[in-house]
């Protein structure tokens, strides 16, 4: 799935206003001479005006919604050479999530705006990924989409194939020496391509990891180095139950489920993406495992709109020892642990047949309806946001994966990993990472799977196999369209 990547503009204002200076009349000969000069000045001004208008009409440009005339792209399909605008280009950047994540994004945008005087980026918060995607689609249909947006990786296929995204292959090739596309971690590039074409650059990327309350494990006489497997997780949870605790709280999250399917040697979809594969033995095993532990009171499955937040609260309040969570939560979880007086460590998601983990988070994309001027500004912003320096900054501030190998190998992050080893776990776990499915129907398929998992676990009369078979039937109808 992973492939190597592979404005002499004339700006004319929408309205031209010419003001003529008329001198005050003076009696005598001077009056005649001044009136003659006025006539000559008027004729000259009109001639200049005609030249400008004719030049604009004959430029062959396309008038954009900014009121500027911009030359078209090169005929050979290569990215046009950057223009030199006469005034600052203003573009919008829409992003998801708040708190530490928003702090980091707003900081980087501010730094970009202050680093140069040609482009101004206006950053606007749009909720979670689902909220953001819906708003971008609506704005695109209305002709007012942001030039740059976060895009959750599994939705890249839908947006790219619908024509909403600008292909970045030619931009990356043109600026290859500056961009250094090969510097991005290979384990994060699978979702950057759609049909072998580049549509996004890895930005705030993540994997799920295991968060452990080491203090609770030590108090229960358990080795804090574990659990490293499904069997160990079950055994640890039994000991914790004897101490009046629960092993883990987690939602029936599709992202976590994808990881457990991978650990069982399975796939979510067929190789061609046209049919379901999650109802095979490898896909049923995680649901059976969760149901078994839930029925025994060893784990707590949270449901509803606040399922993820409720699971996090159980862990923060030390009612449970473990939680699955994004690497984006490392900084926040360390603060919680310190505030509540317990020691935190992170680890790989426990293995079944093998280790396995999906990647997640977002990449930066460019929408396709902007003017060429705006696209060039957007590209400069995207390159800046995904630079080595900003990769290091956002990783240390939030916990998202350092997406560039040069960042991982930097002395700054090496020192950071020694002081805070909790951050390095996700980087090491990338060895077992796989991209998420990007079929256009997958977001809808994922909702069907999630509902089926919850039903299988919570309804004692429902078997995981039967429920997933029913989900597969629904999924196949969507995937086959």
* 98 and 244 both lie in a single domain: no
- Other C-beta atoms closer than 10 Å to the C-beta of 466 total 15
Same domain, 366 and 250: no
Asked whether residue 71 is assigned to any structural domain, the reply reads no
What confidence score (pLDDT) does residue 69 get? 31
Residues 342 and 456 in one domain: yes
The reply to whether 304 falls in a domain is: yes
Mean of all residue pLDDT scores within the chain: 85
User: Contact at 8 Å (CB) between 398 and 377?
Assistant: no
Residues 122 and 270 in one domain: no
Phi and psi, residue 173, nearest 5°: -70, -45
The answer on 301 and 217 residing in a single domain is yes
Band of residue 42 on the pLDDT scale cut at 50, 70, 90:
very low
Give a yes or no: residue 22 inside a domain. Answer: no
Q: Which of 142, 92, 140 is nearest to 368 (CA)?
A: 140
Paired tokens of 400: 């998202």
Residues 212 and 202 in one domain: no
> Does the pLDDT at position 304 exceed 90?
no
Q: What kind and span of H or E run contains 133? A: helix 129-141
Look at residues 417, 433, 457 and tell me which one is the last residue of a structural domain: 417
Distance CA 70, CA 67 (A): 9
pLDDT, greater one: 44 or 318: 318
Confidence of residue 78 (pLDDT cuts 50, 70, 90): low
Q: Are 278 and 449 in contact (CB under 8 A)?
A: yes
CA proximity to 246, closest of 306, 313, 335, 341 = 313
Over residues 98-126, the mean pLDDT reads: 96
Does the pLDDT at position 35 exceed 50?
no
Cα separation, 73 vs 287, whole angstroms = 51
CATH number at residue 158: 3.40.190.10
**Which has the closest alpha carbon to 303: 147, 451, 93?**
451
For the record, the structure tokens of 10 come out as: 């004339």
99 pLDDT exceeds 50? Answer: yes
Residue 30 is assigned to a structural domain of this protein = no
Which residues have CB under 8 Å from 218's CB, separation 6+?
Answer: 224
Q: How many domains does the chain have?
A: 2
Contact 37, 221 (CB under 8 A): no
Residue 391 lies in a domain: yes
pLDDT category at 62 given cuts 50, 70, 90 is very low
Distance CA 372, CA 370 (A): 6
Phi, psi torsion values for 425, nearest 5 degrees:
-55, -45
Whether 475 is covered by a domain: the verdict is: yes
Confidence (pLDDT) at 50: 36
Do 110 and 135 have their domain in common?
yes
Average pLDDT over residues 21-40: 38
Average pLDDT over residues 37-56: 36
* Residue 248 reports pLDDT greater than 80: yes
196 and 215 share one domain: no
pTM of the full structure? 0.78
State whether 240 and 185 are in the same domain.
no
Domain-embedded: residue 34: no
Q: From its phi and psi, is residue 315 left (phi > 0), alpha (psi between -120 and 50) or beta?
A: alpha
> Which stretches within 162-317 are classed as H helix?
169-174, 176-179, 214-219, 230-242, 254-263, 281-295, 307-316
Residues 340 and 466 both lie in one domain:
yes
pLDDT over 70 (residue 11): no
- Give the lowest-confidence range in 68-77, 78-87, 152-161, 261-270: 68-77
User: How would you classify residue 318: left for phi > 0, otherwise alpha for psi between -120 and 50, otherwise beta?
Assistant: left
Q: Is position 20 within any domain?
A: no
pLDDT digits (tens, 9 = 90+) for 421-460: 999 999 999 999 988 999 989 989 999 999 999 999 999 9
Query: Do residues 214 and 272 both lie within one domain?
Result: yes
Percentage of the chain beyond pLDDT 70 is 82
* Structural domain that includes position 124: 89-206+361-417
What are 40's two structure tokens?
Answer: 């000559």
Query: Does one domain contain both 219 and 189?
Result: no
């Amino acid at each position: 799935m992973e492939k190597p990547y592979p404005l002499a503009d004339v700006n004319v204002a929408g309205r031209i206003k010419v003001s003529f200076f008329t001198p005050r009349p003076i009696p005598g000969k001077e009056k005649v001479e001044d009136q003659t000069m006025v006539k000559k000045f008027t004729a000259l001004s009109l001639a200049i005006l005609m030249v400008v208008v004719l030049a604009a009409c004959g430029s062959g440009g396309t008038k954009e919604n900014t009121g500027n005339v911009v030359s078209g792209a090169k005929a050979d399909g290569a990215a046009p050479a950057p223009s030199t605008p006469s005034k600052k280009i203003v573009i919008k950047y829409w992003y998801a999530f708040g708190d530490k994540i928003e702090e980091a994004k707003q900081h980087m945008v501010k730094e970009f705006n202050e680093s140069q005087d040609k482009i101004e980026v206006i950053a606007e918060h749009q909720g979670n990924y689902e909220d953001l995607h819906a708003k971008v689609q609506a704005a695109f249909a209305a002709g007012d989409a942001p030039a740059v947006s976060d895009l959750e990786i599994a939705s890249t296929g839908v947006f790219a194939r619908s024509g909403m995204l600008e292909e970045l292959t030619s931009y990356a090739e043109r600026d290859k020496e500056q961009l250094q596309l090969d510097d991005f971690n290979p384990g994060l590039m699978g979702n950057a391509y759609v049909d072998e074409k580049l549509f996004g650059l890895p930005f705030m990327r993540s994997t799920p990891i295991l968060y452990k309350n080491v203090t609770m494990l030590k108090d229960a006489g358990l080795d804090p180095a574990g659990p490293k497997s499904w069997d160990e997780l079950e055994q640890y949870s039994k000991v914790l139950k004897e101490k009046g605790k629960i092993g883990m709280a987690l939602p029936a999250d599709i992202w976590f489920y994808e990881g457990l399917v991978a650990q069982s040697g399975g796939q979510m979809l067929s190789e061609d993406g046209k049919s379901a594969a999650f109802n095979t033995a490898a896909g049923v095993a995680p649901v059976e495992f969760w149901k078994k532990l839930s029925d025994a009171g060893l784990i707590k499955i949270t449901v509803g709109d606040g399922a993820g937040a409720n699971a996090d609260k159980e862990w923060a309040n030390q009612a449970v020892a473990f939680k699955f969570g994004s690497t984006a939560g490392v900084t926040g979880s360390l603060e919680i642990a310190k505030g509540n007086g317990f020691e935190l460590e992170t680890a790989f998601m426990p293995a079944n047949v093998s280790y396995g983990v999906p990647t997640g988070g977002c990449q930066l994309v460019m929408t396709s309806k902007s003017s060429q001027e705006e696209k060039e500004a957007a590209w400069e912003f995207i390159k800046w946001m995904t630079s080595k320096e900003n990769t290091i900054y956002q990783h240390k501030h939030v916990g998202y994966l350092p997406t560039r190998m040069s960042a991982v190998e930097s002395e700054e992050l090496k020192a950071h990993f020694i002081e805070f080893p909790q951050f390095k776990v996700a980087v090491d776990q990338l060895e077992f990472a796989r991209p998420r499915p990007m079929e256009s129907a997958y977001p809808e398929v994922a909702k069907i799977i999630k509902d089926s998992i919850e039903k299988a676990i919570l309804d004692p009369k429902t078997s995981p196999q039967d429920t997933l078979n029913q989900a597969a039937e629904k999924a196949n109808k969507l995937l086959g369209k």
